[in-house]
């Protein structure tokens, strides 16, 4: 009989290694197309627990398509085809039957705020209500916490009964972030969140994101390369449907790159 036991010292080493760099998301042999036209190909990519993973690249590089594949949003587009393996918390999202349960664990913030025709309070309380939380006191705590984490509470706490659609563009974007946080996601994906936001508000949200990574993993898609440099622990460069390079963010921006196209992009020679 073969002894399958592991030496305690070896086990401790393995556990320490796994704990040091646990993988939240793993992608392999991913291919995305629209109507048969290739949009993105990724051989392999991992996103670690509690990191901000940046994705940079020009328009039509495949960045948004990547996010859609992670959250199974391709189900809304009959022309979009996704092949390959996407492991989220060790489960292949392409095989999951309950898509809504998946989306409850992955929050998404789009480039332009998508406000619901509800009050500020109900925009944030909707997801908890759907999870069965209905006590006013419990909802009050969740709404205040999420609005505070989205750097919006002080500006709206006296008008929670007003329509969210009446807020300014920057406030609506922060309300969208608060709504995503109310899902208590494991993974938060932001797609060009600062397009409709002024520079001051952008910096406030960036500060919030740095704090949020203590509680969740964040994927940040941005056309602003300096934003990726400020926020991301590691960064992937997408170009023309290809994941060209992935590396420690500061390495990419200091010139320690494997592909000249990466250097040219971060130096602003095209984009």
The whole-number pLDDT of residue 232 equals 97
Q: Is residue 4 part of a domain?
A: no
The predicted pLDDT at position 20 comes to 57
Residue 97 sits at φ, ψ, to 5 deg, of -80, -40
Residue 41 pLDDT exceeds 80 = yes
* Residue 20 or residue 69, greater confidence: 69
Which of the listed ranges 19-28, 84-93, 165-174 does the model predict with the highest average pLDDT?
A: 84-93
In a domain, 11, yes or no: no
Kind and range of the H or E run holding 53 = strand 52-56
- The pLDDT-based confidence of 21 (bands split at 50, 70, 90) is low
Tally of structural domains, the chain: 1
Range of the domain at 98: 23-266
Strand order from edge to edge, sheet including 91-92 = 91-92, 80-88, 23-34, 37-48, 242-248, 234-239, 52-56, 217-221, 187-191, 106-109
pLDDT at 5: 38
Interval 194-233: pLDDT, tens: 887 788 888 888 998 998 999 999 999 998 999 999 999 9
User: Confidence class of residue 111 from pLDDT cuts 50, 70 and 90?
Assistant: confident
Residues 248 and 22: their CA atoms lie apart, in Å, by 16
Average pLDDT value for residue range 122-148 = 95
3 part of a folded domain: no
pLDDT greater than 80 at residue 47: yes
| 14 vs 148 pLDDT, higher one | 148
Residue 245 lies in a domain: yes
Query: Which has the higher per-residue pLDDT, 199 or 189?
Result: 189
Give domain status of residue 8, yes or no: no
Is 193 inside any structural domain? yes
Model confidence at 163, in pLDDT bands (50, 70, 90)? very high
Residue 16 lies in a domain: no
Task: Specify if 29 maps to a domain.
Answer: yes
Min mean pLDDT across 2-6, 30-34, 68-72 is at 2-6
Q: Is 217 helix (H, G, I), strand (E, B) or coil?
A: strand
The CATH number covering residue 257 comes to 3.40.50.300
Higher per-residue pLDDT: 16 or 155:
155
């Amino acid at each position: 009989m073969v002894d399958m036991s592991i030496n305690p010292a070896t086990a401790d080493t393995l556990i320490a290694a796994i704990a040091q760099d646990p993988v939240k998301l793993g992608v392999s042999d991913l291919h995305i197309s629209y109507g048969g036209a290739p949009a993105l190909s990724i051989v392999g990519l991992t996103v670690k627990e509690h990191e901000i993973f940046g994705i940079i690249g020009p328009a039509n590089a495949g960045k948004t398509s990547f996010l859609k594949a992670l959250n199974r949003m391709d189900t809304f587009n009959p022309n979009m085809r996704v092949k390959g393996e996407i492991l989220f918390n060790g489960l292949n999202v392409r095989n999951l039957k309950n898509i809504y349960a998946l989306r409850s664990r992955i929050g998404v913030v789009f480039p332009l705020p998508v406000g619901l025709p509800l009050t500020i309070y109900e925009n944030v309380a909707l997801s908890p209500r759907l999870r069965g939380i209905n006590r006013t006191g419990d909802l009050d705590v969740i709404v205040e916490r999420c609005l505070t984490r989205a750097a919006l509470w002080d500006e709206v706490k006296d008008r929670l009964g007003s329509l969210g659609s009446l807020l300014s563009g920057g406030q609506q974007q922060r309300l969208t972030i608060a709504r995503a946080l109310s899902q208590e996601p494991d993974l938060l994906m932001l797609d060009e969140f600062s397009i409709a936001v002024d520079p001051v508000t952008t910096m406030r949200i960036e500060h919030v994101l740095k704090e949020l990574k203590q509680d969740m993993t964040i994927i940040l898609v941005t056309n602003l390369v300096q934003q990726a440099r400020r926020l991301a622990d590691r960064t992937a460069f997408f170009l023309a449907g290809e994941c060209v390079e992935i590396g420690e963010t500061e390495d990419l921006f200091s010139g320690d790159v494997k592909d000249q196209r990466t250097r040219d992009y971060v130096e602003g020679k095209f984009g």
